[in-house]
Structure 1
Amino acid sequence: MKLFRRLLSVLFIIPALSLAHVPVTSNGQVIASLAPMLAKVTPTVVNVAVEKVLPPSALNPFAPKSLQSKAPVKALAVGSGVIFDAKHGLIVTNAHVVQNQKLMIVTLKDGRHYRAKLVGKDNGFDIAIIRIDAKNLQALPFGDSDQLKVGNFVAAIGSPFGLTQTVTSGVISALNRSRPQLEGYQSFIQTDAPINPGNSGGALVNMQGQLIGINTAIITPIDANIGIGFSIPSDMVHSVIEQLLKYGKVKRGMLGVIAQDITPELADAMNLKTTKGTLISTVMAGSPAKTAGLLSQDIINKINGKPIRSAAQLRNTLGLMRPGTEIHLSIIRHHDTKEMTATIGDPKKFKPPHVNAFLAGMRLQKFSQLEGDGSRLNGVLVTDLTDTSTGALSGLTFGDVITQADGKPVTSVDTLVHLASKAKNELLIKVYRGTNAVFLVLQP
């Protein structure tokens, strides 16, 4: 059963119990009530109702085309958002909340309703900006998510199951979390503050009433919270917002390495003295990493003085840097610490010209497997892909089987290459991930 549930609301109610947390200040004094802090914060958190237009196949992706509806499917989803610029009516939310949006209605705490317009979004970081034309708004200040520690008390505010202005509290359970079942860039704050469907785009705040994260996902075998929720760190959110407002999109940089987390088993096998940092498994030929002198089995310990704790954090850090940026690296090579500089490159310019832009950075092979019901699953298996490839940024992961491209069957790698070569701005593919089928749009 799929463990991850995106948090768009489905309107039903599940009774739930959660452990109460008693927050304390940094000097150990108990905070008698969160009410004074929340009185300032809750007016900045809004409800976002979205009317979506989905493809006809969304009702039943497994049904034959002849039995599928011909008309687009309309759906209503409910999420949350946070006002970060009161003067200009700017609200940050999740990109998946506003995906396929036709109409967006924002409801403020005081009951006012406004139509919202999409300003910009980035699916890779799952961040979107929407705007409302309203006065007398209040903005939530950003906190420093880099200063967070496991055990810090937090509060989550949003619209779970469409229930606006719901507040839950808990602690930070872990930092720099990444989960393979979720798409895009990952380096999440993990919290046990109850987060439920409809909280997507809502605020995670510290005890000072500052935004430290945008709530985005939960791990659960059901459609409700079991105490494992994820938020996008505020520092990452702020960086994405800056690029969307200034450039209209996030222009990602690349170093040209494939990196992995250092597990205790890997450290033992490779005789490493630490599990901190991230291990470089591959340095791509002609990449900025190669030019800088990085080698396979180097451990990236810091970038610009900031500790790197995981491969996901490395990917996020590099992905938020624009091409041409010079960075300072602290690495460990054969147990010795070395300092070096590198210049961030442009992934699009780095791609070999003979490689199709939709498929660049991916390794593929023909796939055919007999299913339990006697049918045969034919397609192309994704055996590897780089973090900055079009496929990875669009949600493809290792082990996915591509069965359709542009609505046509994919029976071999050559077939996929041919269909991709005919595509212009985007390529719609159908992918089998385990026993589930999903549709993804590849956009170079």
Structure 2
Amino acid sequence: MKSVLRPLIGPVLYGLIIALGYIFIIERTSQPIQHEVVLIEKQITETPIQSTASISDPISYADAVSKAQPAVVNIATSKLVTEKAHPLADDPVFRRFFGLNQAPRRQRMQQSLGSGVIISPSGYILTNNHVIAQADQIKVGLADGREIDAMVVGTDPETDLALIYIDMPDLPAINLAKTENIRVGDVVLAIGNPFGVGQTVTKGIVSALGRHQSDISSFVDFIQTDAAINPGNSGGALINAYGDLIGINTAIYSNSGGSLGIGFAIPIGTATDVVKQLVQYGQVIRGWVGIEPQVLNPALAKAFNLPNIEGLLVMGIAKNGPAHQAGIRPGDIITHMNGNMIEDPRAAMEMIANMKPGAKVTIRVNRQEQSLDILVVVGARPTPQG
């Protein structure tokens, strides 16, 4: 019997050794995989699910709105308008011929709506000039439902800002942000009274900074936003995600009068500079020399047979204005002001506007290819008519 089994012992033992080795290898290689699976399951179990909203983009802006909203007011204005009985009613010959000299003219009350922002607990409210312009009565409606008549402290048509005052104690004033902290892409909220439906909040971002809209103002670098702004929002607040005021909503770019996602607000830095002068003087005093400049480009130089140099061509000059009295002439090319090279009419105008009347500025001009330094005494910028 032993002789029969002896030949089988070797192959059996060899097979057992191979089987044990295979099992050992499988166990050793499976341990790291099982360990990784355990770690992943542990992480899934112990790690909380996080919201996709970041700290800078909260789920709700209710805190910012509740902080700023009490300081935003509704403004209702009314003025007595005299209507003409006929387009030629002001013509004296027409009135005498048709016997209209004694005819009474129709009068009606014209009303409009806008918004404003309380910037001082003592009662100062900032709004747009076009909201209260030529109004006979200005009524302010607070967020808590109270209403009171307001008086005009001062206006600045050139920035479309106005400061009004209401006699109420302990008013909820808004917190002012720092203009230099505003960035393109920041979340902003517009608060106002669009179409008179009541106080409304819309959300957007800062679309651009430093927008120049000469048809609105030559002295404002506007904040552009896509937050919905409509008629009635004018003078209202543009706030950041923390409820601080960054701008005064002023205008929209629209052919239809409705919001197209392009709105403009006056930065709070510009507004506060205007407010300081309105409180102190009742108006904003800007420097003025009385020139109408245009960038001298190659085409313009060729058309007027002028040297092709960098500078501003004096296209027009105010009669008896500071520049005229100093000897500057149309056709002169302005190259420097107080030693600084000037290439942009807007920059030149801002430089002069920031000077006080009576200050002196040296303007270097090129006249018939000769450089002349002309000393000009800055005057006060005339108040715009209309």
Check whether the contact 2:289–2:321 (CA below 8 A) recurs between aligned residues: no
- Which residue does the alignment assign to 1:372? none
Alignment of 1:290-309 (within 5 A): 297-298=333-334
Report the residue type matching 1:36 in the other structure.
D
- Which residue does the alignment assign to 1:402? none
2:325 & 2:198 partners in 1: Cα distance? Answer: 51
Q: 1:44 aligns with which of 65, 71, 89?
A: 71
How far 1:46 moved relative to its partner? 0.5
1:131 aligns with 2:168: no
Alignment of 1:165-244 (within 5 A): 165-168=199-202, 169-180=204-215, 182=216, 185-244=219-278
Per the alignment, do residues 247 and 125 of structure 1 end up closer, same or farther by CA in structure 2, a change over 3 Å counting? same
Per the alignment, do residues 266 and 186 of structure 1 end up closer, same or farther by CA in structure 2, a change over 3 Å counting? farther
Check whether the contact 2:184–2:205 (CA below 8 A) recurs between aligned residues: no
Alignment partner of 2:280: what SS?
Answer: helix
Deviations 1:355-409 (A, max 9, x none): xxxxxxxxxxxxxxxxxxxxxxxxxxxxxxxxx566xx23xxxxxxxxxxxxxxx
1:98 aligns with 2:132: yes
Q: 2:106 aligns with which of 66, 71, 78?
A: 71
Alignment partner of 2:269: what SS?
Answer: helix
Per the alignment, do residues 251 and 225 of structure 1 end up closer, same or farther by CA in structure 2, a change over 3 Å counting? same
Q: Which has the higher helix share?
A: 2
Deviations 1:282-318 (A, max 9, x none): 6969847997x9x9555679x999x999644654564
Alignment partner of 2:77: what SS?
Answer: strand
2:334 & 2:54 partners in 1: Cα distance? Answer: 41
- Which residue does the alignment assign to 1:345? 378
1:143 & 1:328 partners in 2: Cα distance? Answer: 37
2:313 & 2:181 partners in 1: Cα distance? Answer: 26
Which 5+ residue runs of structure 2 have no aligned equivalent? 1-51, 367-372
Aligned-pair Cα RMSD in Å: 4.4
Report the residue type matching 1:126 in the other structure.
D
Q: Which has the higher strand share?
A: 1
Check whether the contact 1:123–1:184 (CA below 8 A) recurs between aligned residues: no
1:158 aligns with 2:223: no
How far 1:321 moved relative to its partner? 4.1
Per the alignment, do residues 176 and 312 of structure 1 end up closer, same or farther by CA in structure 2, a change over 3 Å counting? farther
Q: TM-score, normalization: structure 1?
A: 0.57
How far 1:74 moved relative to its partner? 0.9
Report the residue type matching 1:346 in the other structure.
G
How far 1:110 moved relative to its partner? 1.3
2:149 & 2:165 partners in 1: Cα distance? Answer: 9
Report the residue type matching 2:123 in the other structure.
G
Deviations 1:146-198 (A, max 9, x none): 55443333221111111332111332334232143x46755432222111000
1:41 & 1:173 partners in 2: Cα distance? Answer: 23
1:328 & 1:41 partners in 2: Cα distance? Answer: 46
1:206 & 1:328 partners in 2: Cα distance? Answer: 42
1:154 & 1:71 partners in 2: Cα distance? Answer: 45
2:324 & 2:282 partners in 1: Cα distance? Answer: 28
How far 1:78 moved relative to its partner? 0.6
2:339 & 2:167 partners in 1: Cα distance? Answer: 39
Q: TM-score, normalization: structure 2?
A: 0.65
Report the residue type matching 1:345 in the other structure.
V
Report the residue type matching 1:35 in the other structure.
A
Report the residue type matching 2:67 in the other structure.
K
Per the alignment, do residues 343 and 297 of structure 1 end up closer, same or farther by CA in structure 2, a change over 3 Å counting? closer
Report the residue type matching 2:277 in the other structure.
Q
Per the alignment, do residues 264 and 205 of structure 1 end up closer, same or farther by CA in structure 2, a change over 3 Å counting? farther
Report the residue type matching 2:378 in the other structure.
G
Larger radius of gyration: 2
How far 1:120 moved relative to its partner? 1.7
Check whether the contact 2:322–2:377 (CA below 8 A) recurs between aligned residues: no
Alignment partner of 2:155: what SS?
Answer: strand
Check whether the contact 2:286–2:353 (CA below 8 A) recurs between aligned residues: yes
2:347 & 2:165 partners in 1: Cα distance? Answer: 30
Per the alignment, do residues 108 and 176 of structure 1 end up closer, same or farther by CA in structure 2, a change over 3 Å counting? same
Deviations 1:196-245 (A, max 9, x none): 00011111223343322211111211121111212222222112211111
Report how many residues are paired.
312
Q: 1:109 aligns with which of 133, 139, 143?
A: 143
- Which residue does the alignment assign to 1:436? none
Per the alignment, do residues 212 and 308 of structure 1 end up closer, same or farther by CA in structure 2, a change over 3 Å counting? farther
Which 5+ residue runs of structure 1 have no aligned equivalent? 1-21, 334-339, 348-387, 395-440
How far 1:272 moved relative to its partner? 8.0
1:235 & 1:345 partners in 2: Cα distance? Answer: 25
